[in-house]
Structure formats: C-alpha cells, structure tokens
Chains A and B, each alone.
Chain A
Amino acid sequence: MKQFYSHLIEIESIVVELDKMDLTEEQKVHLTGLIDSSLHHTILDAVLSELSPQDKRVFLNHLQDGDHSKIWKFLNEKVDNIEDKIKTTADDLKEELKKDLKEAKNR
C-alpha cells in the first residue's frame, strides 16, 4: 500500500537483506509486515511529535482520508523540513532493522 511518505523511503536495501535469509513464505509475509508496520509507526510518531494537539487531529483526519496532497500541504505549512525529518527517522530505523536482520541470519 502506497503511503504518503513512500516516495521518501528507499526499501531496496532491506529487501536485499531479507532475500538472503532462509525464510518460509509465511515467515517472510509475517516479517515484512512487521518491518512495514515499524516503519509506519515510527514515521507517524516522528510527524506527530512535531504537531500541536489540534494539528495532530487535522493530520490524522487527512491520513484517514488517504489524501496525500492534503497531507503534504498541511505538513509543509506546519513543520519546517518535514521531508528531511521523515527521511532521517526512516534511515535510522532502517539501519537498526538491517543490523537485526544480519544478526538473525548469522545465528
């Protein structure tokens, strides 16, 4: 599912690590679901931490509607360099995830 931040996130490096692991289809679906969910919630947390209680409500309404152009218009008005903040948050988490995947593979 395409998220409002999908264009900012490079997922290829995680997928490469995943493909090196000896997983069943079921395990792969479960693990990838966890990865996507972690990324999604970490990014949402980063965005919400930049917004006032009132703005959080507006953002969540736009998110619920799935209107990406409204989300970006709103975030760009409310938060400076929001794209960079999302990218940095995602990159940090991705590094952690890659480290975890490598460790799991070597066990």
Chain B
Amino acid sequence: MLISSPNKQQLPAPNLIVSHDGILKGYDQNVLLAQILSDRIPKEIRPLDSLEEQDIESILSRSFGFKVIAEIDGIRLNRNYGLIGGEQHLYRYPGDNLYAHADTASDFANYGSAGIAPGLGAWGYFAPTKQDFSEIDKQRERYYLAVQTFLAPGFAENLVKYRDFFKFRKMLIVNPSTGQAVVAVVGDAGPADWTGKHLGGSPEVMDALGLATGSRKGPVLYFFIDDPKNEVPLGPVKVKGEA
C-alpha cells in the first residue's frame, strides 16, 4: 500500500492555470519604464551629461518604437531634463474662443479651467482662418509645448534656421516618476529663464503626464523625435517594446 504510487488526480484541462497573451493585455508597461528610469536620471533637476543623454535616448527609443534623439541637424536644446509647468490654451485661428476647444463636454470640464492665453503662440495662429483650420492644427494646439528655443546653443546666430527647425517640431515628453508619456509639438517659445521652469505644456499635455492637478508642474525628460515621414501621431503614448 505504502509503495504503491499515490493516486494523483489531475485537474481537468479547463481548470489548468495557463499563461496566455491576453493575461497582460492592457497592462500599463509605462510604470516599468518609470522603474528603469529611476536609476538612470539624476536626483536633482539638472541638464543631463552626454552619457546620461545617450543612455536615455536609447531606453526611450526602444520603449516607444521610434527614434528619440537630443540633436537633429546639429541643433539641440539647452537641456533635456527640466521642470515643466502648465500653460493655457492658445488661439488657433482668428475669432477662436475657449469653448470651441472642447470636443466633448468633458473636455471643457477637464481643460477649460486652464483658460486661454491673451497673446498668440510663437508661430502665430495655427491656421489663418476657421475654414482653413484642420485636424492637424487642432492636434497641434491640444498637444503643444512651450520650449526655451531662445536658449538653444547657436539660436542667436541662426534665427531663421532655428525658427524653421523648431516650428511644430515633434517631441517626446516623459514623466520619469510615472512613465506617463506624450508626443507633442513645439508650439510656443518660453518660459522665461527667471521663472525657474524649463518648458511649458498645454492643459492636455499636463493631463497626459499626470501633472494636471496641484501645482501643475514637475520634472520631465524631453527629446526630439526623428520622424521625417511624419508617422508618429500626437497624444499620449504607451510603451511598446522592452525598455
């Protein structure tokens, strides 16, 4: 009796616990990116050194599946790690108003309180008239950044070249604390150096980064996206590959 093999009852097949692809469907991998970045970014908010910059370019490019880079055509920003603050909406065409920015009633509740800036962005209106206003113009205002273009090395000597380069230049912004990330365009110049902030984000950008409440500011990584075929859509972005 003792040496006979025990009667091992197998679970019926449908009850076997098996792993399958669906189990991780919808799982937010951005939190894993936050974990990886936590060891790589400096404790204080300062410009990255070249080794840190290369390391983070590589991590972000692998994570999101497009080329994330600090320098394009010899042009780079004054820094790629800094403090972002919340900006207001921008007028998109002559006659635009705050109410027209909402696609849904919830949009107004979420983003209307930011208000609308009295002046135009650095590039003027997004479209010359309401009739010319397109979906891409709408997306550009929704997901815009104010970047300190005027502090970029070489800006003063190459005003026209730099203006053309920065106008609606696509960038990736990442909140390293949470891994939340958004693709946005350079839609304005600022903030002034004395504010202590290094860039600004539209109400929708701040929301996508998880920085829309409280003081509406926090440290972020921000890099150019090398997207010559204009294939990377604007808006919140999820981690795709292994970081």
Residues of A within 8 A of B (CB): 1-3, 6, 11-12, 14-16, 18-19, 25, 28-29, 31-33, 35-36
Contact = CB atoms under 8 A, between A and B. Distances in A.
A32 B106 CA distance: 5
- Contact-size category for B: 10 to 19
Interface in B139-187: none
Contacts of A36: 104-106
A19 B108 contact: yes
A19 B112 CA distance: 9
A31 B109 CA distance: 9
Contact of B105 (A2, A3, A25, A32): A32
Contacts of B99: 12, 15-16, 19
Contacts, number: 48
A14 B100 contact: no
Interface string B81-117: 0000000000000000001101111111110110000
Given A15-B99, A15-B112, A29-B110, A1 B105 contact: no
* 7 A-B pairs closest in CB distance: A32-B105, A32-B109, A35-B105, A28-B109, A15-B108, A32-B106, A15-B99
A13 B102 CA distance: 11
Contacts of B105: 11, 14-15, 18, 31-33, 35-36
A1 B106 CA distance: 9
Contacts of A32: 104-106, 108-109
8 contacts: A2-B103, A15-B102, A15-B112, A28-B109, A29-B110, A31-B109, A32-B108, A35-B105
A29 B106 CA distance: 6
Interface string B101-137: 0111111111011000000000000000000000000
A19 B108 CA distance: 9
A32 B107 CA distance: 8
Given A28-B109, A29-B110, A1 B104 contact: yes
